[in-house]
Amino acid sequence: MMGLLEFKELSKEYRRGGGAFNAVNHVSLSIEPGEFISIIGRSGSGKTTLLNMGVGLLKPTQGTVLFEGNDIYGLGDKDISFLRNEKIGYVPQGQSLLSNFTVLDNVCIPWFLFKREGDPEGRAFILLEKVGIGHLAASYPRELSGGEMRRVSIARALINEPRLLIADEPTGDLDAQTTAGIMGLFSRIADEGTAVLIVTHELDTLDYGNKTYLMDAGNLSPHAA
C-alpha cells in the first residue's frame, strides 16, 4: 500500500568548517492516514532536518519525498507552498508567529493562503479553545508565554484540517497536564484519519503513538518500547 507521506532513502548533507556530514543519512519511512508516529533522538541527531525535508522546506541532497505518491521536490515552490497550506499542518520547532497579527489572525493565516470560503475566525476560535487558550484570541504573540505561543502554532497547523500533521517538539515547553491535553488532541485527530508525525523529547508522550523511531546521528531505526 502506498503511504500518504513516504521518505525514500532521504539524505541531507551539510557542509561546515571545511567538512561535510549527513545530518540525515538514507532514511526511509512511510506514514499512512490515521497513523501516529513519534521520533525520538538526541539533540543534533537530525530530527528537525528530516521534518523540514518532509514538509517541503528543505531540499534533500539525495532521495525523494512522496506525498500522495507525488515527488514534492518535483513541484515548483508555489505548488509546494500550496500543498503545505492545503494538506499539511506543520508545527515548527522555533517561534514562528507573526508579531503584528493577533493570535486569532495568526491561526487563520493558512486558511487565507489557501483561499477557502467559510468562517475561519469561528474555526480558529474553536481550535484555540481546544488547546486551552481561547481567552488569548485577541492578544499579540509578544504578550504570550512560550507554551502559549506553541499552542497557537498547533491551532494554526490544524486550521485547514490537514491530511498530515507534522510537529517538531510540540510539547517541549508545556507542563505535564497541558502536554496530556495536546497529545490527547493529536490522538483524536489520528483516530479521525489524519496522519500524525511528531518529534518528541518527552518519553511519556510515546504512549500516544502507534510507532516509535529513534534518530541517531542521522540514522532512523524502529525503537523498541
Contact residues: ligand ATP, CB under 6 A: 14, 16, 23, 41, 43-49, 93
Q: Quick one: what does residue 197 bind among ligand ATP, Mg ion, none, with the CB cut-off 5 to 8 Å set by partner type?
A: none
Min. distance of Cβ 23 from ligand ATP in angstroms?
4
Q: Quick one: what does residue 112 bind among ligand ATP, Mg ion, none, with the CB cut-off 5 to 8 Å set by partner type?
A: none
21 versus 112: smaller Cβ distance to ligand ATP: 21
**Burial category of 16 from C-beta neighbours within 10 Å (exposed 0-12, middle 13-18, buried 19 and up):** exposed
Q: Judged by CB under 5 A, does residue 171 bind Mg ion?
A: no
Q: Tell me the number of residues near Mg ion by CB under 5 A.
A: 3
- By C-alpha distance, which of 87, 89, 92, 91 is closest to 75? 87
Cα(173)–Cα(201) distance, integer angstroms: 11
Cα(53)–Cα(112) distance, integer angstroms: 24
- Sole residue written with cell 510515546: 206
Min. distance of Cβ 202 from Mg ion in angstroms?
14
Min. distance of Cβ 196 from ligand ATP in angstroms?
18
Binding mask 10-49 for Mg ion (x = CB under 5 A): -------------------------------------xx-
C-alpha cell of 170? 510540540
65 versus 91: smaller Cβ distance to Mg ion: 91
61 versus 139: smaller Cβ distance to ligand ATP: 61
- By C-alpha distance, which of 19, 95, 27, 109 is closest to 61? 27
Min. distance of Cβ 46 from Mg ion in angstroms?
8
Min. distance of Cβ 212 from ligand ATP in angstroms?
15
Q: Which residues bind Mg ion (CB under 5 A)?
A: 47-48, 93
